[in-house]
Amino acid sequence: MRQSRLSIMCLCFLFVCALSLLPAVPAPTAAAQTGPMRVVTDAQKSIDTADDTLFFEAVDADALLNSAADAVIKAVQEEARAGALTADNPALGMILGALASGDASTVNMVKPVLFSEIKRLVGVGIRGGFFAGNPNGKVSADATALASVLKSMSPERKEFVPGRVISQKDDEAVISATLVDKGAGRFPLELRLREQDGRWRVKEILNVKELVQKATGKS
């Protein structure tokens, strides 16, 4: 099994959902902590306290996944046609097989299953300390069909490094950041945020196509 290729491809999905939860460098000013960059400090806290509820308050996972689905599914289909993807359990095999089929109705049918498993994996990663690089034994990695993805991830601490507020108008903002993992590399990000009920939430990764290309070694 070409495990590294499989884990990288599945991590593309995981990155899309989880980039904003990864351990963060504290924001340098009070203004940054109360403005759009607040998602960074909330992300840090979600890791430090193993609180996945806080993460899903800061990140609109459904919006993120929907906005990135086309780019990531296309990459999965290309990898599958090249024979680069295999699965180690029936559930993951079903998901990958459906995505690789290229049939629109089949892909649409499996999307909710995939999204549910990604969110489950994110919850396990947070509660279990896996994303902090320090598994705490509170939850098993096998609690999701994507367990093999979690197990094949780099064990290094993942660091979400805040950049700057690129633009902000009314309840919309765009910020830059970088995902750093010593075992996987550096991934520059542009995140679109929206303020809802006084809380900024991540809605979209604007450079998702570039992210997928980098993760699959095609950039």
DSSP string, the chain: --HHHHHHHHHHHHHHHHGGGS-BPPPSSHHHHHSTTHHHHHHHHHHHTT-HHHHHHHB-HHHHHHHHHHHHHHHHHHHHHTT----SSHHHHHHHHHHHH--HHHHHHHHHHHHHHHHHHHHHHHHTTTTTT---SSS-GGGSTTHHHHHHS--SPEEEEEEEEEEEETTEEEEEEEEEETTTEEEEEEEEEEEETTEEEEEEETTHHHHHHHHTT--
pLDDT per position as a tens digit, 104-155: 899 889 888 888 888 888 888 888 888 888 899 988 888 888 787 777 777 8
Q: Which residue has the higher pLDDT, 112 or 18?
A: 112
The total of structural domains in the chain comes to 1
Domain span at residue 80 reads: 3-215
Instruction: Return the structure tokens found at 146.
Output: 């994507």
Q: Which residue has the higher pLDDT, 10 or 218?
A: 218
Q: Mean pLDDT across the stretch 160-182?
A: 87
Q: Which residue has the higher pLDDT, 162 or 173?
A: 173
The pLDDT-based confidence of 24 (bands split at 50, 70, 90) is: very low
Is beta strand 172-181 parallel, antiparallel or unpaired with respect to 199-205? unpaired
pTM: 0.74
Q: Residue 205: what pLDDT? A: 85
Q: Is it the case that residue 33 has pLDDT exceeding 70?
A: no
Are the beta carbons of 122 and 46 closer than 8 angstroms? no
pLDDT per position as a tens digit, 34-67: 588 877 667 767 777 777 777 777 677 788 778 8
Q: Which residue has the higher pLDDT, 105 or 160?
A: 105
